């Protein structure tokens, strides 16, 4: 099935191809004239998927689209203050090749006009054994996701028609804006303009800007977010030269054009657009490129005002732990107490990006919780990006809750947010799974509100809840067939893949049920305590153990081994049937707990 976006772009391409106005740029005699019929459109998403139609693989000179990327490299090298001393950030309202320098300082108005671009190129120095121009081309290549090259014939042709730019270079040198040989700076500028790109390359370069400087295809961090933010800001106000105001009004995306026929536009966080069509209007912008951008902005609501959704909530779900209990089997008294006080532990699932809007919705949710809530558990496993504002808000939430004798906890599978909070001096209790976090809350609630509640540390086989439906005499008969075993903290009781080894009754201590996650790390599924059983589920998995059972502290077990169980089934089928009926009832009790947690997990 064809994507509706692919079919939309094909129709758009066919429609805009009918525009025949404009004149292609020519570098002069001896250079091939561009084919005015060539026309390509590419949309690259911020996660690296590319939609394309038309002439998207044809190479052409990047020309002035190079300017924002060299400007960004200068910002990365020297910092904003140093670059601002040489190049301003104000829109000029003049054509790209106009002499529009500040009279007192000679500073160009911005890095998108030719004078400002020359100044920015002059700020790039050689480093790490690479010349300035090699560093520039390497930066472009990291943005494009492939090795780009310079067309030397194009450079030679440009030099012959660059008297005006040469004059700019010497004028900038006279003001001290360019330090060093102005001719050498001019040559590097013409070389960067002669880098060969395709429409697809430009779309990936734009998407890398949209993705905060990380190439969404290769994963390479081509530029940090600080320079990207400044680059996009200047592109918005000045990237389309003396047509910038009209562009912002009609398209509303940071953009840059080049006389080679390319245009890029960036919708931060979402998509990079590139269009290639050589015929230019009187501003030096691709006629078809402008038309495509205007149509896409309108049809796809890509104008920055429309694309910035107001206050989109980051809250996926919010519920107390009575709706998602842990896997621990409690006594009847403990279960009743948790049913009464479970609403004092609230789980809030977050999703998406925690920038300003998402963070605000999270803070509002926590702030609006009833004052009786003692434990606030934030599940951030579905959060993609955490901005600085979110980190600050997490710190303040933790402090505010602590002041009210309440506690903030995190469920953070990767632990990245927990690490950031810990490094900032605001450590928050963190768990890899919801089960572990809920278990912690249950234990704390029992400790706080269960004063005088007798939670037995030892449960004999005779008192096992799993066997409670059975006759005491039958239980005593079963106990005779069992073997007592003890394990130290950390010892493995059962491993994944082992054959069915019998039924294990926990007399004292705790058993951790572990599995292996997609990253190869062990994940705790549940904690089994005194009075619970394990091992019987292996019978439903081709007689193979599906999880690892590990002692959490000293553990004492009574084990009905597989051989003794088989002997019981042969010699006393009535008792064996009663045993399996009791274990089945107990299993259904646990399944009910798991189903309630699963219902929470899959809820939209």
- The span from the CA of 275 to the CA of 288, in Å, is 8
Residue bearing tokens 């206050």: 311
Q: What share of the chain is helix, strand, coil (3-state, %, to 5)?
A: 45, 20, 35
Cβ atoms of 280 and 261 within 8 Å: the answer is yes
Q: Can you name the residues that pair with 528 across neighbouring β-strands?
A: 511
Question: Could you give phi then psi for residue 135, rounded to 5 degrees?
Answer: -65, -40
**CA-to-CA dists, residue 142 to 127, 138, 219, angstroms:** 17, 6, 10
CB atoms within 10 A of CB 490: 10
Tokens of 122: 């002059």
Helices (H), 211-250: 225-238, 244-250
| Exposed / middle / buried, residue 494 (Cβ in 10 Å: 0-12, 13-18, 19+) | buried
- The span from the CA of 72 to the CA of 78, in Å, is 10
- The span from the CA of 134 to the CA of 128, in Å, is 11
Task: Please give the torsion angle defined by the CA atoms of residues 103, 106, 110 and 114, in that order, rounded to the nearest 10 degrees.
Answer: 110
Angle at 363 between CA 361 and CA 364, to 5 degrees: 65
Cβ atoms of 530 and 459 within 8 Å: the answer is yes
- The span from the CA of 92 to the CA of 100, in Å, is 7
Cβ atoms of 121 and 115 within 8 Å: the answer is no
Distance of CA 108 to the CA centre of its chain: 38
| Exposed / middle / buried, residue 488 (Cβ in 10 Å: 0-12, 13-18, 19+) | exposed
Q: How many CA atoms lie within 13 A of 248 on its CB side?
A: 13
- The span from the CA of 502 to the CA of 543, in Å, is 10
Give helix 182-193 / helix 114-122 axis angle, nearest 10°. 110
Residue bearing tokens 């006080």: 341
Name the nearest CA neighbour of 143 among 69, 194, 45: 69
Name the nearest CA neighbour of 538 among 521, 519, 513, 571: 513
- The span from the CA of 579 to the CA of 180, in Å, is 91
- The span from the CA of 497 to the CA of 495, in Å, is 6
Helix (H) or strand (E) segment spanning residue 183: helix 182-193
**CA-to-CA dists, residue 494 to 482, 522, 534, angstroms:** 17, 15, 10
Binding residues for substrate: 64, 114, 158, 165, 189, 241, 259
DSSP 8-state secondary structure symbol assigned to residue 531 = T
Q: How many CA atoms lie within 13 A of 376 on its CB side?
A: 25
| Exposed / middle / buried, residue 473 (Cβ in 10 Å: 0-12, 13-18, 19+) | exposed
């Amino acid at each position: 099935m064809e994507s509706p976006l692919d079919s939309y772009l094909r129709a758009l391409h066919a429609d805009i191809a009918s525009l025949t106005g404009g004149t292609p740029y020519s570098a002069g005699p001896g250079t091939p004239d561009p084919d005015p019929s060539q026309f390509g459109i590419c949309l690259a998403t911020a996660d690296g998927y590319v939609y394309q139609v038309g002439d998207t693989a044809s190479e052409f000179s990047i020309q002035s689209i190079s300017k924002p990327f060299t400007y960004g490299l200068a910002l990365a090298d020297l910092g904003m203050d140093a670059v601002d001393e040489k190049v301003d950030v104000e829109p000029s309202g003049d054509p790209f090749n106009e002499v529009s320098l500040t009279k007192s300082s000679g500073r160009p108005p911005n890095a998108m006009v030719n004078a400002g671009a020359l100044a920015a190129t002059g700020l790039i120095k050689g480093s790490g054994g690479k010349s300035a121009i090699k560093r520039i081309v390497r930066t472009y290549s990291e943005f494009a996701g492939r090795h780009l090259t310079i067309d030397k014939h194009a450079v030679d042709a440009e030099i012959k028609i660059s008297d005006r730019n040469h004059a700019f270079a010497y004028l900038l040198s006279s003001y001290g804006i360019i330090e060093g040989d102005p001719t050498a700076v001019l040559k590097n500028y013409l070389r960067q303009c002669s880098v060969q790109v395709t429409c697809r390359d430009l779309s990936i370069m734009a998407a890398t800007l949209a993705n905060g400087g990380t190439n969404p295809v290769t994963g390479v961090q081509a530029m940090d977010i600080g320079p990207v933010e400044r680059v996009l800001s200047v592109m918005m106000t000045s990237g389309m030269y003396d047509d910038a105001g009209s562009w912002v009004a009609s398209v509303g995306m940071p953009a840059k054009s080049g006389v080679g026929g390319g245009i890029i536009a960036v919708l931060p966080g979402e998509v990079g657009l590139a269009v290639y069509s050589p015929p230019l209007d009187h501003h030096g912008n691709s006629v078809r490129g402008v038309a495509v951008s205007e149509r896409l902005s309108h049809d796809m609501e890509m104008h920055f005002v429309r694309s910035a959704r107001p206050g989109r909530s980051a809250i996926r779900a919010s519920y107390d732990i009575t709706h998602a209990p842990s896997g621990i089997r409690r006594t009847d008294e403990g279960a009743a107490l948790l049913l009464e006080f479970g609403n004092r532990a609230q789980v809030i699932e977050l999703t998406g990006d925690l920038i300003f809007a998402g963070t605000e919705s999270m803070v509002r949710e926590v702030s609006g919780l009833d004052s009786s809530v003692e434990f606030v558990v934030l599940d951030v496993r579905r959060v993609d990006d955490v901005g600085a504002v979110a980190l600050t808000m997490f710190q303040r939430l933790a402090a505010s809750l602590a002041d009210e004798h309440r506690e903030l906890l995190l469920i953070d599978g990767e632990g990245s947010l927990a690490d950031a909070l810990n490094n900032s001096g605001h450590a928050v209790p963190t768990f890899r799974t919801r089960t572990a976090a809920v278990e912690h809350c249950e234990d704390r609630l029992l400790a706080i509100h269960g004063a005088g509640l007798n939670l037995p540390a030892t449960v004999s086989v005779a008192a096992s809840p799993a066997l409670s439906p059975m006759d005491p005499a039958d239980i005593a008969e079963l106990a005779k067939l069992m073997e007592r075993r003890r394990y130290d903290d950390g010892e493995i009781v059962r491993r994944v893949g082992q054959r069915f080894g019998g039924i294990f009754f926990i007399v004292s201590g705790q058993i951790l049920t572990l599995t292996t996650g997609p990253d190869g790390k062990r994940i705790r599924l549940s904690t089994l305590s005194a009075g619970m059983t394990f091992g019987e589920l292996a019978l439903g998995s081709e007689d193979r153990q599906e999880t690892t059972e590990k002692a959490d502290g000293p553990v004492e077990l009574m084990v009905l081994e597989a051989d003794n169980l088989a002997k019981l089934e042969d010699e006393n089928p009535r008792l064996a049937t009663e045993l399996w009926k009791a274990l089945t009832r107990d299993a259904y009790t646990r399944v009910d707990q798991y189903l309630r947690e699963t219902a929470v997990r899959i809820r939209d």
